[in-house]
Amino acid sequence: MNLTLKQLFKFGVVCASACALSASATDYVSDSFEDPEGVDGKAIGDYKLNMPNSGDTNWFANASDASVIVTNDPTYAAYTGGYPIAGADKELILSLDTAGNELSRAVTNVLDIEDGDVYVDTMVQFVLSDEAPVITETDIKVALYVNSESNLVVESKMYSNTVDYVHVRTNSVIDLGYPIDPAKWYRLSMRVTFDAPDTLTDIYIDGTLITHPNAYDIDNAVNGGSSFLSIDPLEMDLSAVSFKGTGLLDELVVSDTAPDISTPTVIQLVFAGGSGSFATLAEPDVSSVTSGTEVIMTAAEWYEITGVTGPIDETGFAVPANAVTTTVTSASDCTVTATVAQVDSDLADWAVLYGVSKAQADAGTYNNNYLLNISPSEVAEIVIESIVIVDTNITEITLGPTNIIDFGSMYGALSVSNSSDLVSWSVPMEVGNAAETYTITNGLNFIKAVVK
């Protein structure tokens, strides 16, 4: 995708002269491509058609332009930084396919840079250019594209020296410290400013200001700064943002107010537990979040969150719990650590060992297998093999027969009730599960023994 900031006078469809900026903050362009104007499959030339102060349309597309509004790209969800339009939906985006022509978004009022800085802020997914695009226009401020080596390239002018200040046109290959990934989204933000006699553009990628030896250092009046000289250095009006090529775009904003393009605070989420001990790490399922984000952490079945440390909101916070909801807020990069452990119960031990779900356990599907501490695939049962009255008060109860049950490790326990008439039985007394033969003391005529 080739993006240019340019004048719109050759189109002649907006204000004939620069319109004065209002004293209050104004977004002169704010397009998120969402309803009611945006619809999946709508051509960009029909988006915001005949909106107030737009002339015939806000977007100017060549007849062969195939740019269209589409549903969200799945990789968009992986972006965790700030966005140009706070709270905007992310369902619809613009798929650029300009067929070699320019697609331009008009600004509702031509903005005079001499009256104040102008800001362009948007989300983009770049497409690599196998060959450097030919940018023949002379009425633009700067142009951006990504070359075949995944480097961002800025086309602008520069001072050939800072003695006589002669302008020459140049391409600046930017070293961001990482390659541009065509599968990722980036926040592209620009400030267009006036420093007599020039207009200049500062460029930010994900909140980081770009510098280059060809860019100008306004404060020290030398090259090697962050302000790129306009290709048309004398024109002070900004009246359109233009695109050429392919790529994905969302949330295009042109404003007279500086956006919050600072690098967002990144809070790393760390989860201390065994493999598979978290069903959901965070909501959404990410490894890092920005400050002020509500995070929902959910332990996997048979596990519980035993503690969370870091800059969290502890209002209504309690552990251990299967799920914890909290807001993480920090002024600087930091880490939130959640500790998870297996639920302390015999049933959890058995279910984790054999992969039995909570639903199966709650339904009692494998109750007998759990009580006998055997695999769900095994079939076995125990019986009361004998009840022998040793003397008046002593009875021996023997369990059996089986060859796959370890009586000493089963989770079921022998429970005994007494009765004098076979009708009224005493409250069951749990005897234990440590042996095959049990000796109990009773003083009634009848006993009933079960394993449960």
Distance CA 421, CA 170 (A): 106
The pLDDT, as a whole number, for residue 398 is: 77
CB hemisphere CA count around 96 (13 angstroms): 25
Strand partners, 410: none
pLDDT at 15: 20
Beta strand residue intervals within 343-436, DSSP E: 383-389, 394-400, 414-419, 429-432
pLDDT computed for residue 17 by the predictor: 22
How far separated are the first and last CA of the chain, in Å rounded?
A: 69
CA distance 286 to 301: 20
Whole-number pLDDT of residue 71: 93
pLDDT of residue 442: 66
Q: Calculate the average pLDDT of the chain.
A: 80
Bridge partners of residue 20, in order along the sequence: none
Evaluate the omega torsion of the peptide bond into residue 320 and state whether it is cis, within 30 degrees of 0: yes
Amino acid 422: pLDDT: 82
Report d(CA 287, CA 290) in Å as an integer: 11
Pull the structure tokens for residue 117.
């800085």
Q: Which residues contact 7 (CB under 8 A, 6 or more apart)?
A: 139, 140, 232, 235, 237, 238, 239, 240
**Under-70 pLDDT residues of the chain:** 1-27, 35, 49-57, 108, 162-165, 233-234, 262-264, 274-286, 401-403, 432-436, 438, 442-445
Q: Which two tokens stand for residue 85?
A: 């339009």
How confident is the model at residue 387, as a pLDDT?
Answer: 78
pTM (two decimals): 0.59
Read off the DSSP letter of residue 312: B
C-alpha dihedral sign at 144, 147, 150, 155:
negative
Element (H, E) at 336: strand 334-342
> What pLDDT is attached to residue 214?
93
- pLDDT value for 283: 56
Q: Which residues contact 368 (CB under 8 A, 6 or more apart)?
A: 380, 381
Strand order in the sheet with 437-441: 383-389, 394-400, 437-441
Pairing of β 334-342 and β 266-272: parallel
Question: Could you tell me which of 440, 436, 403, 434 has the C-alpha nearest to residue 418?
Answer: 440
pLDDT of residue 399: 73
Do residues 384 and 397 make contact, with C-beta atoms less than 8 angstroms apart?
yes
pLDDT at residue 292, rounded to an integer: 79
